[in-house]
Amino acid sequence: MKRYELSLNFLKNNFNYKNFCEDLNFAYEKNYIDYPIDEIILHHSVFDKVGKFNTIQEVDEIKEDEKDWSENSDKISKDFYSDKNKDFYDWFIAERNKGTLLPSISKNFELIHNFNIGTLNYSLIYSNFNKIYYFFETWEDMNVVINKYNKKPSKEVIIDFMKKKLELDNYIIDECFDNY
């Protein structure tokens, strides 16, 4: 395992956005609501090859190039949530909730829209690499890809999607999106 530090500079210099995008697609296609996207960002900064979460593998089935990740990923996760990295963790979560985390660590990503409804945060983020618009929902310690688009969705498409997802009446949704 290479030496690492949990910092913005380390992420900027080491984040493998191409492999990360593959993981986002995997999580979305499998409809994994508990796929640890925040930790995956860190893992794609520390390890050369990252395995897939929520997949069952026997110890002897682990690919050679994923052994480092398999043996050491828990350490990275523990460090992320530890008191010694509280400032980094707080910064990371705040940036994530504003939709600015991925664009701040990689020029590959561009924030298109960010808005919140109560304690839920939503971000539409574009990947230049694979030309996909990822729609994230975040709250507390969850970060989920809830939709993805091959072309930029209109404001109306996003609002219609949110109305269906949140199952709120039109008045509440319209009020939430007045300034969007």
pLDDT digits (tens, 9 = 90+) for 59-74: 456 666 667 777 888 8
More confident residue, 59 or 112: 112
Whether 3 is covered by a domain: the verdict is no
Q: How many domains does the chain have?
A: 1
Whether 18 is covered by a domain: the verdict is yes
Compute the average pLDDT of residues 24-44.
Answer: 91
Q: What mean pLDDT, rounded, does the chain reach?
A: 86
Q: In whole angstroms, how far apart are CA 153 and each of 107, 123, 148?
A: 21, 12, 9
Whether 125 is covered by a domain: the verdict is yes
Res 37 pLDDT > 80: yes
- In the numeric block, which tokens belong to residue 67? 């052994």
Residues 6 or more apart whose Cβ sits within 8 Å of residue 135: 122, 123, 124, 145, 146, 147, 148, 149, 153, 158, 161
